[in-house]
Structure 1
């Protein structure tokens, strides 16, 4: 199945990034961290999907959505299906750090263990699986240099 997805690099006032800890429903030992976001519905723009997904997954409705940072294509198996996904990553800022995952979909409730704010240093030191795979370095560059002048193409990854 091929789909379009809008993702958000959501930063709080301390420049921590919000990540979700996901797992394969059929094998909870297969885990990874990822940014908020998800599939774009038929009548939505990428920006509308990004805002909706953040609100559903985190309860945060006051996101200041910024520019498009990165684009990637990924292929992965999840919940018994093979996926090919085109992803657009937007910069997002919020002053809200309290999270409310009660708006998550049934599938998200079956496959997301927790939400956590990470400092860039914690992410750089982590040995856990994170998507996109270069997220720690990309975040470091973003925080040091600011957003890119045009979106960075991350290429294709097999997650």
Structure 2
């Protein structure tokens, strides 16, 4: 944490969308305050006021991919943790829970993104564990390969 900089608390639902081949769908984006800081990340985001983790996972999956899922489609949470990160000039402490959704591979539809996401998310891609292990590209969570092996 940066000395003297406050942290904004945030709660988030993250979704590991897995296809029958075991590939995970990741979104590509950047931090608007640091456009050169590009990375891949799991579907999901912050809870809206009064929203449950499951409701947020369902909403975020649709907004970020166009895929409609139901509560019964969600496995988990399969992991919960706390991360700290900067985004758009602000530091966050995020309590996040990961769910798994098993689905057929599909083409990502980014037309439902919120205004704040439009400038920071540009594409989606299905990744195998081997591709994640071999890539030099940045992705989050950093231990995604281990998490994918755990959930199979």
Determine if the TM-score, normalized by the shorter chain, exceeds 0.5: yes
Separation of aligned partners in 2, 1:140 and 1:126: 17
Provide TM-score, normalisation by structure 1: 0.84
Separation of aligned partners in 2, 1:55 and 1:86: 21
CA contact (8 A) 2:11 2:47 kept: yes
CA contact (8 A) 2:34 2:88 kept: no
Counterpart residue number, 1:146: none
- Shifted more, 3-12 versus 25-34: the winner is 25-34
Q: In the alignment, does 2:135 pair up with 1:112? A: no
Counterpart residue number, 2:28: 21
Q: Secondary structure at the match of 1:2?
A: strand
Counterpart residue number, 1:6: 13
Task: Say which of 80, 84, 98 aligns to 1:89.
Answer: 98
Coordinate RMSD, CA, aligned: 1.3
Provide TM-score, normalisation by structure 2: 0.88
Structure 1 stretches of 4+ with a deviation exceeding 4 A read none
The unaligned stretches of length 5 or more in structure 2 are 1-7
Note closer, same or farther for the CA distance 1:96–1:127 as it changes in structure 2 (3 Å cut).
closer
CA contact (8 A) 1:62 1:94 kept: no
Deviation at 1:96? 4.9
Counterpart residue number, 1:40: 47
